[in-house]
């Protein structure tokens, strides 16, 4: 039998039969957590399934506190990095920043520039121009920086770990270099002539390795402020780092970092700050993204509304624009920039849609059965191939590399729903000119004539791993609920204690058995591709749900079905109501 699987907000696509994997939880541990925490067994079971098995762990998970954030000096090389910055701040020496052009790099740059401004330091910042300077700390952007500034210290953010030649070039000019980065090492050794803050290049805790660059910059400025306070610098006492959690949450969510441990603290409080007094740049960005002032922001709002508008400048125009946006102190200036990036985003959506349709056709005709997907066209826009790779990876649930022609090379991005792209590419490195990134997202370039052999080796490396989930055959189910268990109390618990959702803390999926959609089902959308449904949870009590892109797969009338749903509050006209989102369904087994 062939089933279809829905991805939130995605399109419907045919797949092989999907396994519903029901997760287990130790009943004794569930009972203990439920009693000690005063929560339902449903919530306690989800916590146990996610490896949260003790009361202290559970308390930190469901109610994270800012005090849970660890000592920043536990990050290796932190004392050397702080001493380096401290020396140049004391000298009021010129500092330049090179930040990457994605959301992580942009938020990292904005955060560090904002903190340094409190100490009278106003560094010049440089974001790579994708089409003329390439990715990261390239020689081209170093040259541009040196034409416009004469720094004593260069700080590379979200790049630099693998930039040995460029760092040696700066060292010969007696310019110190500090690298704050979370990308994996893809060269033989770390640069010798730089201070490196990167938990992936030295032995570090899992918490630190789970952070993206903006999280590491937070650690760095936290350590710097502690040092300055010890020195009695009054300026350091006036800074409240929690006022910057919104920027940190933005970069952490956009870079798809695990929402566990310290990341969970930063993201939770960062999202909460959006509903309060927003900084002008983010207020303007929310405005053009149709997110009203004073409303709460979710992880999905960041991922699908805010982050794409920040990313788009680096893809189609000048990535310095969103840095200016985040640093804006006046709403009028911020709105002008926000409108520019919103216009660019609409252009990006059109280009991306055209490429996605073409790419899907190619996959359908040639690569549907491959364990991984590698696509290349010299006619595609290299600025959007990363987004296309992400869409295809979610749709086909396997690693995807999408390449376009740029400066004579096949350049692009890779995305993965689970398999480690760094490990996979390490086995294909002899066919690649340059690459870098982390487990779920990489940038890559190779000679166009090497694409075919690279595709072969890429697929061999994936096939060898046989990673569960690569082919989209499994949906993890948190448990089976009775219809009358779906109520406001459950929705409140999920919203209050499980959110924010994200990597390693996905929104739970529940099974409800033997239901029938009531006859008032409503089909909607331009092509009637979606439908709203209702089920009767108890006599005269109806539960409502929505199914995106599933109208073509509507169950037969008068037949019982088992459904998989996500349960949450939805908001309409400033009113909250309980809503189920259909993930999958199948006909019930005969009793």
**Same structural domain, 230 and 95:** yes
**Same structural domain, 155 and 259:** yes
- In the chain, the largest separation of any two C-alpha atoms, in whole Å, equals 80
Contact 390, 437 (CB under 8 A): no
Contact 200, 185 (CB under 8 A): yes
In a domain, 362, yes or no: no
Task: Output the pLDDT for position 229.
Answer: 96
In a domain, 522, yes or no: yes
Instruction: Please report the sign of the dihedral spanned by the C-alpha atoms of residue 562, residue 563, residue 568, residue 570.
Output: negative
Structure tokens at 465: 């791993």
**Same structural domain, 375 and 505:** no
**Same structural domain, 144 and 287:** no
Structure tokens at 468: 């569960």
**Same structural domain, 433 and 485:** no
Residue with tokens 């000679």: 447
Task: Output the pLDDT for position 4.
Answer: 38
In a domain, 358, yes or no: no
Structure tokens at 135: 């990715």
- Measured CA distances, 585 to 251, 517, 554 (Å): 35, 12, 9
Task: Output the pLDDT for position 92.
Answer: 95
**Same structural domain, 318 and 450:** no
**Same structural domain, 11 and 150:** no
In a domain, 361, yes or no: no
**Same structural domain, 51 and 197:** no
- Measured CA distances, 386 to 122, 309, 474, 549 (Å): 32, 14, 25, 24
Burial of 458 (0-12, 13-18, 19+ CB in 10 A): buried
Task: Output the pLDDT for position 133.
Answer: 84
Give the other-Cβ count within 10 Å of 456's Cβ. Answer: 14
H/E segment holding residue 438: strand 434-438
**Same structural domain, 245 and 107:** yes
* Calculated CA dihedral for residues 31, 32, 33, 35, nearest 10 degrees: 80
- Measured CA distances, 362 to 345, 356, 377 (Å): 25, 10, 11
In a domain, 471, yes or no: no
Alpha carbon 267 to chain centroid, angstroms: 11
Which domain CATH number covers 431? Answer: 3.10.310.30
**Same structural domain, 457 and 427:** yes
**Same structural domain, 41 and 168:** no
Residue where one domain finishes, among candidates 274, 303, 337: 274
Q: How far apart are the first and last CA of the chain?
A: 20
Residue where one domain finishes, among candidates 274, 290, 319: 274
pTM for this prediction: 0.86
Domain range holding 119? 67-274
Task: Output the pLDDT for position 557.
Answer: 83
Up-side HSE of residue 424: CA atoms within 13 Å toward CB?
Answer: 37
Task: Output the pLDDT for position 346.
Answer: 93
> Would you call 396 helix, strand, or coil by DSSP?
helix
H/E segment holding residue 32: helix 27-37
Structure tokens at 491: 């929705």
**Same structural domain, 388 and 491:** no
> Would you call 124 helix, strand, or coil by DSSP?
strand
Task: Output the pLDDT for position 185.
Answer: 86
In a domain, 359, yes or no: no
Task: Output the pLDDT for position 12.
Answer: 36
Instruction: Please report the sign of the dihedral spanned by the C-alpha atoms of residue 428, residue 160, residue 399, residue 356.
Output: negative
User: What's phi and psi for 477, nearest 5 deg?
Assistant: -115, 125
Give the other-Cβ count within 10 Å of 225's Cβ. Answer: 22
Which domain CATH number covers 184? Answer: 3.90.1640.30
- Measured CA distances, 372 to 40, 385, 409, 436, 445 (Å): 41, 16, 21, 18, 17
Task: Output the pLDDT for position 8.
Answer: 39
Measured distance CA(319)–CA(286) in Å, rounded: 18
Up-side HSE of residue 351: CA atoms within 13 Å toward CB?
Answer: 18
Strands 474-477 and 19-22: parallel
What are the DSSP E strand ranges found in 466-509?
474-477, 479-480
Number of domains in the chain: 4
> Of 318, 317, 314, 292, which is closest to residue 305 (Cα–Cα)?
292
Contact 159, 183 (CB under 8 A): yes
Measured distance CA(116)–CA(204) in Å, rounded: 27
Measured distance CA(554)–CA(186) in Å, rounded: 48
Structure tokens at 284: 């303007």
> Of 411, 413, 418, 508, which is closest to residue 462 (Cα–Cα)?
418
Measured distance CA(7)–CA(583) in Å, rounded: 7
Residue where one domain finishes, among candidates 353, 386, 407: 353
Task: Please report the DSSP string for 96-121 in residue order.
Answer: EEEE-SSHHHHHHHHHHHHHHHTTT-
* pLDDT digit string (tens) for the chain, length 591 residues: 233 333 333 333 444 467 899 999 999 999 999 999 999 999 999 999 999 999 999 999 999 999 999 999 999 999 999 999 999 999 999 999 999 999 999 999 999 999 999 999 999 999 998 878 878 899 999 999 999 999 999 999 999 999 999 999 999 999 999 999 999 888 888 899 999 999 999 999 999 999 999 999 999 999 999 999 999 999 999 999 999 999 999 999 999 899 999 999 999 999 998 877 789 999 999 999 998 877 788 898 999 899 999 988 887 878 899 999 999 999 999 999 999 999 999 999 999 999 999 999 999 999 988 999 999 999 999 888 988 999 999 888 899 999 999 888 999 999 998 788 989 999 988 999 888 777 888 889 999 999 999 999 999 999 887 644 444 468 999 999 999 999 999 999 999 999 999 989 999 999 999 999 988 788 988 788 899 999 988 887 889 999 988 888 899 888 999 999 999 988 776 678 899 999 999 999 987
Measured distance CA(276)–CA(270) in Å, rounded: 10
User: What's phi and psi for 48, nearest 5 deg?
Assistant: -65, -40
């Amino acid at each position: 039998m062939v089933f279809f699987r829905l991805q939130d907000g995605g399109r419907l696509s045919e797949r092989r039969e999907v396994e519903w994997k029901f997760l287990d939880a130790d009943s004794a541990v569930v009972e203990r957590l439920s009693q000690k925490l005063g929560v339902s067994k449903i919530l306690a079971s989800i916590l146990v399934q996610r490896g949260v098995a003790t009361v202290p762990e559970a308390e930190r998970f469901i109610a994270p506190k800012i005090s849970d954030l660890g000592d920043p000096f536990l990050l290796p090389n932190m004392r050397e990095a702080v001493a380096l910055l401290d020396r140049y701040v004391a000298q009021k020496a010129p500092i330049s920043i090179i930040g990457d052009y994605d959301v992580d790099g942009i938020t990292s740059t904005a955060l560090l520039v904002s903190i340094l401004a409190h100490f009278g330091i106003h560094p010049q910042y440089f974001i790579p121009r994708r089409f003329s300077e390439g990715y990261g700390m390239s020689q081209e952007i170093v040259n541009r920086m040196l034409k416009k500034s004469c720094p004593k210290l260069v700080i590379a953010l979200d790049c630099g770990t693998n930039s040995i030649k460029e760092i040696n070039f700066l060292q010969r000019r007696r310019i110190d270099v500090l690298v704050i980065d979370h990308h994996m090492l893809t060269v033989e050794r770390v640069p010798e002539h730089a201070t490196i803050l990167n938990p992936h290049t030295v032995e570090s805790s899992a918490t630190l390795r789970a952070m993206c660059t903006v999280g590491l910059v937070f650690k760095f400025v936290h350590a710097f402020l502690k040092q300055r306070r010890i020195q009695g610098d009054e300026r350091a006492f006036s800074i409240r780092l929690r006022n910057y959690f919104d920027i940190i949450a933005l970069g952490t969510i956009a870079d798809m970092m695990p929402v566990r441990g310290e990341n969970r603290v930063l993201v939770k409080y960062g999202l909460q700050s959006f509903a309060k007094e927003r900084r002008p740049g983010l207020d303007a960005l929310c405005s053009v993204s149709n997110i009203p002032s004073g409303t709460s922001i979710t992880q999905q709002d960041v991922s699908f509304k805010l982050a794409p508008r920040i990313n788009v400048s680096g893809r189609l125009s000048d990535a310095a624009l969103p840095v200016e946006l985040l640093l804006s102190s006046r709403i009028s200036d911020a709105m002008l920039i926000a409108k520019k990036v919103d216009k660019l985003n609409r252009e990006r959506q059109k280009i991306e849609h055209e490429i996605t349709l073409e790419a899907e056709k190619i996959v359908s005709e040639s690569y549907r059965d491959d364990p991984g997907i590698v696509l290349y066209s010299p006619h595609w826009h290299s600025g959007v191939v990363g987004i296309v790779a992400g869409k295809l990876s979610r749709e086909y649930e396997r690693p995807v590399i999408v390449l376009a022609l740029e400066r004579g090379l096949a350049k692009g991005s890779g995305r993965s729903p689970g398999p480690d792209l760094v490990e996979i590419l390490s086995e294909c490195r002899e066919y690649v000119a340059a690459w870098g990134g982390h487990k779920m997202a990489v940038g890559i370039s190779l000679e166009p004539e090497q694409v075919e052999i690279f595709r072969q080796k890429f697929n061999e490396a994936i096939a060898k791993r046989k990673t569960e989930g690569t082919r989209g055959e499994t949906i993890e189910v948190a448990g089976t609920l009775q219809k009358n268990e779906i109520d406001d109390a459950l929705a409140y618990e999920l919203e209050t204690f499980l959110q924010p959702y994200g990597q390693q803390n996905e929104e739970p999926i529940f099974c409800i058995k033997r239901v029938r959609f009531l006859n008032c089902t409503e089909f909607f959308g331009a092509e009637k591709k979606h439908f709203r449904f209702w089920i009767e949870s108890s006599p005269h009590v109806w539960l409502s749900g929505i199914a995106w892109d599933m109208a073509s797969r509507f169950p037969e009338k008068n037949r019982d079905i088992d459904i998989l749903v996500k349960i949450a509050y939805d908001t309409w006209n400033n009113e909250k109501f309980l809503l189920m989102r259909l993930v999958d369904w199948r006909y019930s087994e005969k009793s």
